[in-house]
Structures are given as structure tokens and as C-alpha cells.
């Protein structure tokens, strides 16, 4: 499943649509102060219908990838049919937002 940056394909839309969260001092979260942008990556494999996104969370101050979050916007039933997987834990990991420790292949 090759994933590509949305902003690489559609820079004008991404400039308007990319979301950033700002954490100020005393935000109540246990995170460093700063701005964190969510760079979207989508699968561009021909004939693949995985309907998933990876968010690469990049801190503006450190210009570093701080986290990768995956999310599938379809139902568990969709991913069961798509993947052939029957394990609920795996299916839930496809549908719920989850942190990833490895980066999808980029192009």
C-alpha cells in the first residue's frame, strides 16, 4: 500500500485544508508548547480501495515528525470485507484512530 502526501498532489487545497493544533503553556495536556500540523497521506495504489489516511504530525518548532496516526473512515464491516480479516482487534485498529510506530512507504 503506497501512501503519498496529499499536499504533494494538491498543494493549493492542502494549503487551505491542513489542520494545525496549537498547545500553549498550561494547556492541560502533557505536550510541549507549540504548533502541530497534521499532514495527510493517502493510498495511491491503482485499484486499491483501502479508504484509510495516515496523519503525519509535524511540530513547527522542531520540524520533526512527532507521531503518525492512522484512521479508516469506513465501518468494521467494510474493512472485514476489504481485508478478509475476521479478528475484531485488527478490524478495530483499521477503523479507530491509532498511533503507528512505523511509517507507510512514501513516494
Distance between CA atoms of residues 57 and 64, nearest Å: 8
43 and 68 Cβ atoms separated by less than 8 Å: no
Residues 6+ apart with CB under 8 A from 86: 80
Minimum Å gap between C-beta 20 and Zn ion is: 26
What is the contact mask toward Zn ion in residues 3 to 42, using x (rule: CB under 5 A)? Answer: ----------------------------------------
Minimum Å gap between C-beta 43 and Zn ion is: 3
Indicate whether 50 belongs to the interface with Zn ion (CB under 5 A).
yes
Helix (H, G, I), strand (E, B) or coil at 79: helix
Among 13, 31, 33, 48, binds Zn ion (CB under 5 A): 48
83 and 77 Cβ atoms separated by less than 8 Å: no
Residue 34: alpha-carbon gap to chain centroid: 19
Minimum Å gap between C-beta 104 and Zn ion is: 10
Among 4, 23, 43, 57, binds Zn ion (CB under 5 A): 43
Instruction: Catalog residues that contact Zn ion under the rule CB under 5 A.
Output: 1, 43, 45, 48, 50
Amino acid at each position: 500500500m503506497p501512501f503519498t502526501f496529499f499536499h504533494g498532489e494538491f498543494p493549493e487545497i492542502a494549503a487551505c485544508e491542513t489542520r494545525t493544533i496549537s498547545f500553549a503553556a498550561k494547556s492541560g495536556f502533557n505536550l510541549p508548547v507549540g504548533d502541530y500540523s497534521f499532514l495527510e497521506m493517502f493510498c495511491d495504489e491503482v485499484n486499491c480501495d483501502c479508504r484509510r489516511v495516515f496523519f503525519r504530525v509535524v511540530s513547527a518548532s522542531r520540524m520533526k515528525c512527532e507521531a503518525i496516526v492512522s484512521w479508516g473512515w469506513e465501518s468494521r464491516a467494510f474493512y472485514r470485507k476489504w481485508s478478509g480479516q475476521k479478528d475484531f482487534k485488527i478490524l478495530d485498529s483499521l477503523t479507530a484512530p491509532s498511533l503507528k510506530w512505523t511509517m507507510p512507504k512514501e513516494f
